[in-house]
């Protein structure tokens, strides 16, 4: 973000006080900050009491060997029991857990907690039958259908860590994840619905399985949900229909209590190298973090609220705020399979009206696209049920915040701009709906129990009014425990930058305003944020150079009105490729789609004769960003060859 935008942001002086009705009955009130500050561990222990423990912990935090944390040491619990059974045992079995809305109109299912318990138990029995044991990894590659939730909880129930791979990822991306965590079983479906048409998933699993096999890893079984009814290739030794394995299984299953630190899941996310990082979350601390924040930040009233988080289950938001947080809290929620504009652009608002949604959580990129379509569309619906709105994934620009609050929330609803990451597991910085006077564009302050700072290069907190790096200064229960199979990378990535202070380095830049409130500005590393999804520049560069016509590639994230950032690529072709042919750009875009997935498709690919490099050979992405954002190219004095930028600019101007 440029300095100019930044100072504009900090001039933002609109404030939105909490509505009195919410403030009065708020789950979290101002005193929580003081209580947490007075005794952080006691505060977190109090939050852990929201869960049902089989064996209580004997130590809240073991931080004897940082950065390897253990929370609620000695405690034992089952995550699936906490998300399902205990609500049924408490007499709330008939309460709807999921109002599932399929993309085809009228394709809906309401699933109560009792039904969910039966289905999860059957799936747990079926997985055991397929040979999945405690500690085995299970990959889940599914559309937004109830079976995705059931599959996750079934894995948790038998202590088999799941790794959910976003359905929009390619076969190659799936294969690398299967290999990295050595997944034994994959759960998928024939396909799902996207914009009114069935879209296949199973072929990608077949391809990924063949690929891992050629690298010496065997996926033993593939469990396939029938969703669209489309044709699938079938391998009798490996493929099993979900309806054959699960529907006939017993609905009785006794959940085993696992250690608080038992691995719950691995979620892959992009880092600064080409290889995605498998972020490991464990059971007790993670579930405590999700449950506490979902209750506190969204002010969840279990018996009256209808909650909806629009995230896909393939991202961490879907894990923490569609599965583990809301279900641990016994909430009633909406789960929607499709796209916001299918079959028409008011689909989301229709769902809010139909189900009386009271709490809605989505991403700024979606809000901006609705803004663009105009308020006439949402204005047609009755959304007076809404009382709290949430935002996540990227900085929300003040205009989008104000529009969201005004047009969607009818000016009644606080907007909670929640900052967190795959690694943090749960919300870290956010306004509290009953306490904070929100400033549009600011994530405000760390929530009770969390300690964050903005520091300079040396790790010293910056004064109010200045910017620096965002760090978390104390461990928290839902923190990542390591990168799967790579403790060294875990240390290097997050803990080496401010090792003297022992701070967690988040990779984001941030500013403290004159009141000390935090404005998150975006990544300071080679990670892009496209529509709230994290992409690595290096990963896309590797994809591009794997194409036979490409010699070298450099990728930058350029500012984009709709998606926050967009992927812009600069490529040098191999000599033998000549000018690459007429369709070279199309061909390369298609190649990236295939290698990574549609979300990584470059908005723009520029074929250039050279790339700007320093004398030590490092690509100066800053200069490429200037080109991509149509700015005057900045300081070129550290370039090995300062004429390169002229070459690039003239090549682009002449349309080559």
Task: Report whether 310 contacts 361 (CB < 8 A).
Answer: yes
Least Cα distance to 191 among 165, 224, 227, 222 occurs for 227
- Mapped onto helix, strand or coil, the DSSP state of residue 262 is coil
Q: Rounded to the nearest 5°, which phi and psi values hold at 259?
A: -55, 145
Closer by beta carbon to ligand WT7, 47 or else 421: 421
- The answer to whether residue 512 forms part of the interface with ligand WT7 (CB under 6 A) is no
Least Cα distance to 30 among 414, 516, 447 occurs for 447
- The answer to whether residue 522 forms part of the interface with ligand WT7 (CB under 6 A) is yes
Which one of 69, 187, 316, 624 is in contact with ligand WT7 (CB under 6 A)?
316
Q: Does 86 carry a binding-site annotation?
A: no
Which one of 443, 450, 471, 605 is in contact with ligand WT7 (CB under 6 A)?
443
Q: Which stretch binds ligand WT7 (CB under 6 A): 111-119, 393-401, 444-452, 593-601?
A: 393-401
Which one of 125, 189, 418, 531 is in contact with ligand WT7 (CB under 6 A)?
418
- Supply the DSSP symbol for 637: T
- Supply the DSSP symbol for 90: I
Question: How many CA atoms does the CB half-sphere of 35 hold within 13 Å?
Answer: 12
Which one of 529, 538, 563, 565 is in contact with ligand WT7 (CB under 6 A)?
529
Q: Does 555 carry a binding-site annotation?
A: no
- The answer to whether residue 314 forms part of the interface with ligand WT7 (CB under 6 A) is no
- Mapped onto helix, strand or coil, the DSSP state of residue 23 is helix
Q: Report, in Å, the least distance between residue 215 CB and ligand WT7.
A: 27
Dihedral angle computed from the Cα positions of residues 255, 256, 259 and 260, in that order, rounded to the nearest 10 degrees: 10
Closer by beta carbon to ligand WT7, 396 or else 568: 396
Which one of 12, 394, 539, 541 is in contact with ligand WT7 (CB under 6 A)?
394
Q: Count of residues for the chain?
A: 656
Q: Rounded to the nearest 5°, which phi and psi values hold at 359?
A: -125, 125
Closer by beta carbon to ligand WT7, 386 or else 392: 392
Q: Does 143 carry a binding-site annotation?
A: no
Q: Does 417 carry a binding-site annotation?
A: yes
Which one of 221, 497, 534, 591 is in contact with ligand WT7 (CB under 6 A)?
534
Closer by beta carbon to ligand WT7, 255 or else 318: 318
Only one residue has tokens 């405590």, namely 288
Which one of 283, 369, 422, 436 is in contact with ligand WT7 (CB under 6 A)?
422
Q: Does 601 carry a binding-site annotation?
A: no
- Supply the DSSP symbol for 611: -
Closer by beta carbon to ligand WT7, 202 or else 481: 481
User: b/e string for 559-597 if b means 16 or more Cβ within 10 A?
Assistant: bbeebbbbbbbbbbbeeebeebeeebbeebbebbbbbbb
- The answer to whether residue 588 forms part of the interface with ligand WT7 (CB under 6 A) is no
User: Over 409-447, what HEC string results?
Assistant: CCCCCCEEEEECCCCCCCCCECCCCCCCCECCCCCECEC
| Count, residues near ligand WT7 per rule CB under 6 A | 23
Closer by beta carbon to ligand WT7, 260 or else 422: 422
Q: Does 445 carry a binding-site annotation?
A: no
Q: Report, in Å, the least distance between residue 380 CB and ligand WT7.
A: 29
Determine the number of helices (DSSP H) and then strands (DSSP E) in the chain: 23, 30
Task: Report whether 386 contacts 360 (CB < 8 A).
Answer: yes
- The answer to whether residue 508 forms part of the interface with ligand WT7 (CB under 6 A) is yes
Which one of 202, 523, 547, 625 is in contact with ligand WT7 (CB under 6 A)?
523
Closer by beta carbon to ligand WT7, 60 or else 479: 479
Q: Does 531 carry a binding-site annotation?
A: yes
- The answer to whether residue 269 forms part of the interface with ligand WT7 (CB under 6 A) is yes
- The answer to whether residue 537 forms part of the interface with ligand WT7 (CB under 6 A) is no
In DSSP terms, 189 is beta-bridged to 225
Q: Does 394 carry a binding-site annotation?
A: yes
Q: Does 317 carry a binding-site annotation?
A: yes
Which one of 125, 362, 421, 601 is in contact with ligand WT7 (CB under 6 A)?
421
Closer by beta carbon to ligand WT7, 12 or else 417: 417
- Mapped onto helix, strand or coil, the DSSP state of residue 577 is helix
Closer by beta carbon to ligand WT7, 189 or else 478: 478
The helix or strand, by DSSP H or E, that contains position 336, with its residue range, turns out to be strand 332-336
Which one of 57, 403, 419, 490 is in contact with ligand WT7 (CB under 6 A)?
419
Q: Would residue 535 be called left, alpha or beta, if left means φ above 0 and alpha means ψ between -120 and 50 degrees?
A: beta
User: b/e string for 17-47 if b means 16 or more Cβ within 10 A?
Assistant: ebbeebbeebbbeeebbeebeeebbebbbbb
Q: Does 105 carry a binding-site annotation?
A: no
Annotate each residue in 186-225 with x if it binds ligand WT7 (CB under 6 A) or - if it does not, as one string. Answer: ----------------------------------------
Q: Does 387 carry a binding-site annotation?
A: no
- The answer to whether residue 596 forms part of the interface with ligand WT7 (CB under 6 A) is no
Q: Does 195 carry a binding-site annotation?
A: yes
Q: Does 510 carry a binding-site annotation?
A: no
- CA 201 to CA 143: how far, in whole Å? 8
Closer by beta carbon to ligand WT7, 329 or else 565: 565
Which one of 420, 494, 504, 570 is in contact with ligand WT7 (CB under 6 A)?
420
- The answer to whether residue 168 forms part of the interface with ligand WT7 (CB under 6 A) is no
Closer by beta carbon to ligand WT7, 82 or else 422: 422
Q: Does 554 carry a binding-site annotation?
A: no
Tokens of 340: 């916001």
Question: How many of the other CB atoms lie within 10 Å of CB of 380?
Answer: 11
Question: How many of the other CB atoms lie within 10 Å of CB of 369?
Answer: 18
Residues belonging to the binding site for ATP are 393-395, 417-422, 508, 523, 534
Chain residues that interact with ligand WT7, rule: CB under 6 A: 269, 316-317, 392-395, 417-422, 443, 506-508, 520, 522-523, 529, 532, 534
């Amino acid at each position: 973000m440029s300095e100019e935008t930044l100072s504009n942001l900090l001039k933002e002086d609109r404030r939105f006080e909490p509505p009195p009705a919410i403030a009065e009955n708020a789950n979290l009130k101002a005193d929580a900050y003081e209580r947490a500050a007075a005794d952080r561990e006691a505060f977190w222990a109090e939050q852990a009491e929201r869960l049902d423990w089989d064996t209580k912990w004997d130590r809240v935090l073991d931080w004897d060997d940082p950065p390897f944390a253990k929370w609620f040491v000695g405690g034992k619990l089952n995550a699936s029991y906490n998300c399902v059974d205990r609500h049924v045992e408490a007499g709330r079995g008939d309460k709807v857990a999921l109002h599932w809305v399929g993309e085809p109109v009228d394709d809906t299912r309401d699933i109560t907690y009792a039904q969910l318990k039966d289905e999860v138990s059957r799936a747990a029995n079926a997985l055991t039958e397929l040979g999945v044991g405690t500690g085995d990894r299970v990959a889940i590659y599914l559309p937004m259908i109830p079976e995705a939730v059931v599959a996750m909880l079934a894995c948790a129930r038998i202590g088999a860590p799941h790794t959910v791979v976003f359905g929009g990822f390619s076969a190659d991306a799936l294969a690398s994840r299967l290999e990295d965590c050595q997944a034994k079983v994959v759960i998928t479906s024939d396909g799902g619905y996207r914009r009114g048409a069935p879209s296949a998933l199973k072929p990608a699993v077949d391809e990924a399985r063949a690929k891992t096999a050629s690298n010496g890893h065997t996926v033993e079984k593939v469990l396939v949900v029938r969703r669209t009814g489309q044709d699938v290739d079938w391998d009798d030794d490996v493929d099993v229909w979900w309806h054959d394995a699960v529907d006939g299984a017993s609905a009785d299953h006794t959940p085993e209590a696992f250690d608080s630190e038992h691995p719950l899941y691995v979620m892959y996310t992009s880092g600064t190298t080409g290889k995605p990082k498998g972020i490991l979350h464990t059971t007790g601390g993670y579930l405590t973090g999700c449950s506490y924040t979902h209750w506190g930040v969204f002010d969840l009233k279990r018996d009256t609220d209808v909650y909806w988080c629009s995230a896909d289950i393939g991202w961490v938001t879907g894990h923490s705020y569609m599965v583990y947080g809301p279900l641990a809290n016994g909430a009633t929620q909406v789960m929607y399979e499709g796209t916001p504009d299918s079959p028409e652009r008011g689909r989301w608002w229709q769902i809010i009206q139909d189900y009386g949604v009271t709490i809605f959580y989505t991403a700024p990129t979606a809000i901006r696209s609705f803004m663009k379509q105009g308020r006439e569309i949402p204005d047609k619906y009755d959304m007076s049920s809404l009382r709290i709105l949430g935002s996540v994934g990227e900085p929300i620009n003040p205009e989008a915040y104000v529009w969201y609050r005004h047009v969607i929330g009818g000016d009644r609803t606080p907007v909670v701009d929640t900052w967190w990451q795959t690694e943090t597991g749960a919300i870290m910085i956010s306004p509290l709906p009953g306490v904070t006077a929100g400033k549009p564009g600011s994530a405000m302050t760390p929530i009770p129990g969390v300690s964050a700072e903005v520091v300079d290069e040396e790790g010293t907190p910056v004064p109010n009014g200045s910017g620096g790096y965002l760090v978390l200064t104390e461990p928290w229960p839902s923190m990542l425990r390591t990168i799967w199979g790579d403790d060294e990378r875990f240390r290097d990535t997050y803990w080496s930058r401010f090792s003297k202070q022992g701070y967690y380095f988040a990779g984001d830049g941030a500013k403290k305003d004159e009141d000390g409130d935090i404005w998150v500005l975006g990544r300071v590393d080679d990670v892009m944020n496209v529509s709230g999804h994290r992409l690595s520049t290096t990963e896309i560069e590797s994809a591009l150079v794997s194409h036979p016509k490409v010699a070298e590639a450099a990728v930058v994230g350029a500012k984009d009105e709709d998606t926050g950032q967009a992927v812009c690529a600069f490529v040098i072709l191999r000599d033998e490729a000549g000018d690459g042919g007429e369709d070279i750009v199309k061909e390369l875009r298609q190649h990236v789609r295939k290698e990574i997935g549609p979300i990584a498709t470059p908005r723009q690919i520029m074929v250039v004769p050279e790339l700007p490099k320093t004398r030590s050979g490092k690509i100066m992405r800053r200069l490429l960003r200037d080109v991509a954002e149509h700015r005057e190219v900045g300081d070129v004095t550290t370039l090995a060859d300062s004429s390169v930028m002229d070459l690039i600019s003239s090549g682009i101007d002449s349309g080559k």
